[in-house]
Amino acid sequence: MSDDEKERTVELHHEGGTLELPVFTGTEGERTIELKPLLGSTGMTTLDPGFGNTASCSSKITYIDGDAGILRYRGYPIQDLAVGSTFVEVAYLLIYGELPEPGKLKEFSDKLRENADIPNDMGTLIDALPRNGHPMALMSSMTNTLAGYYEDSTDPGDEEQIELATIRLMAKLPTIAARIYRNSIGEAPIAPDPSLDYVENFVRMTFGDGRVDGELGELFHKAVDLLLILHADHELNCSTATVRVVGSSKADIFASIASGISALSGPSHGGANQAVLEMLEDIRNSGVSVEDYLERVKNREVRLMGFGHRVYKNFDPRSKEIKELAGQILDRHDNPEELFELALKLEAAALKDPYFTDRKLYPNVDFFTGVIYRAMGFPTNMFTVLFTLGRLPGWIAHYREQLHDPAFRIARPRQHYVGSAERRYPGQG
């Protein structure tokens, strides 16, 4: 952090005296106290479970104002990117810091097309994986394995290798995801087609030709593209923080991203979109009314999935976009998704109930995502894989940014020890 960003100090009064701690002001006026001198000067650490109050790095990638419902990538509002850009452009923006000029975009897109295939051995390996295994577990393993296939792009100290790994990850993860899916349903893999764009190619490798054609097909591609954009980064969420922590040990980018995928698989993080759909199915199958379900939530008998967010204390700006998209998809779909109706009813009932609004529990990014994916034909356990493909450029951008951070150190939190004091070992006097 530069000295110009340092504005003032705060004083910490403690038993041993007073410590002045520097305060830094970010681009949007948010202020951060630097705690680095604390331990050395006072012997004290800070306790912040879940890091709710801790900025672990400075970053230029994504800005969120949770109270105002603002989300920007590299300064651009998410709503503008959603309307004006494709996912590949947004990925470029996150990774390289600027929206691409047409020539740069073509170069980047071409590299993604050219690198979409995976080694034959790796294909065989995927086909040998347990068919019923959760695709997130398989995605994480296969991403880790990429380091073995592409050892020439594993050195975090070599810019060219990082660039090569960036392209390989972006290009190959959709191919791996689609092949894992095809294997799970016992269907032959479909090779990438370099004439197709990024999202079209992924959808075709997943479902084959002709599942949805014409206008509806276009709408589906646009919808997947938009959902990937909306998921592309979210500053220091659990999986991105994981990528940074693992990367801070100088682990290669494949291992770091594989760890991020594992973190994302949890139902409290990326797995929540699957959990929402399962909740909606439970409500439908049990025949309980949404009002009764909400009563059961209040009695802590069941959980309301897809509501509330650690950072947003108002609407998640992504959920508004996604709700609109769900409306468009489901209006046009031959087989309208009844779970969408149920989701709308549940949302309306929760937003009328002060129990939820007082607790600032509003729908988040996961609430409507699942119903859209379901309407398109993605099985429930693939939802978090789609989140993975969306979040990938964000993880890569954070891994790369960290490598150039002058304050870069291996992540090594401290603990507040509350275990036994020294004890006598049994049998010793």
Shortest gap between Cβ of 93 and ligand MLT (angstroms)?
A: 17
Looking at the Cβ atoms of 125 and 311, the one nearer to ligand MLT is: 311
Q: Is 258 exposed, middle or buried (0-12, 13-18, 19+ CB in 10 A)?
A: buried
The residue whose Cβ lies closest to ligand MLT is 237
* Dist CA 274 CA 370 (whole Å): 6
Query: In angstroms, rounded to a whole number, what is the distance separating the alpha carbons of residues 178 and 76?
Result: 31
Is 48 an annotated catalytic residue? no
Active-site hit among 309, 316, 334, 358:
309
Q: Give the nearest distance from C-beta 390 to ligand MLT in angstroms.
A: 9
Contact positions vs ligand MLT (CB under 6 A): 234, 237, 269, 309-311, 365
CB atoms within 10 A of CB 428: 5
For the CB of residue 43, give the shortest distance to ligand MLT in the complex, in Å.
32
- Phi/psi of residue 134, nearest 5 degrees: -65, 130
How many Å apart are CA 10 and CA 13, to the nearest integer?
10
Q: Between 55 and 311, whose beta carbon lies closer to ligand MLT? A: 311
CB 364 to ligand MLT: min, Å:
6
Judged by beta carbon, residue 168 or residue 391, the one nearer ligand MLT is 391
- Give the nearer residue to ligand MLT in terms of CB position, either 183 or 364: 364
Distance CA 269, CA 239 (A): 8
Nearer to ligand MLT, 179 or 309 (CB): 309
- Distance between CA 113 and CA 107 in Å, rounded? 10
Alpha helices (H) in 287-379, listed in sequence order: 290-298, 317-332, 338-352, 354-358, 365-376
Known catalytic membership, residue 309: yes
In which residue are the tokens 């994480």 written?
Answer: 140
CB 138 within 8 Å of CB 227: no
Let me know: does 321 contact 79? Beta carbons within 8 Å: yes
Nearest distance from C-beta of residue 63 to ligand MLT, angstroms: 13
Q: Are 274 and 374 in contact (CB under 8 A)?
A: no
Instruction: Just list the catalytic residues.
Output: 309, 366
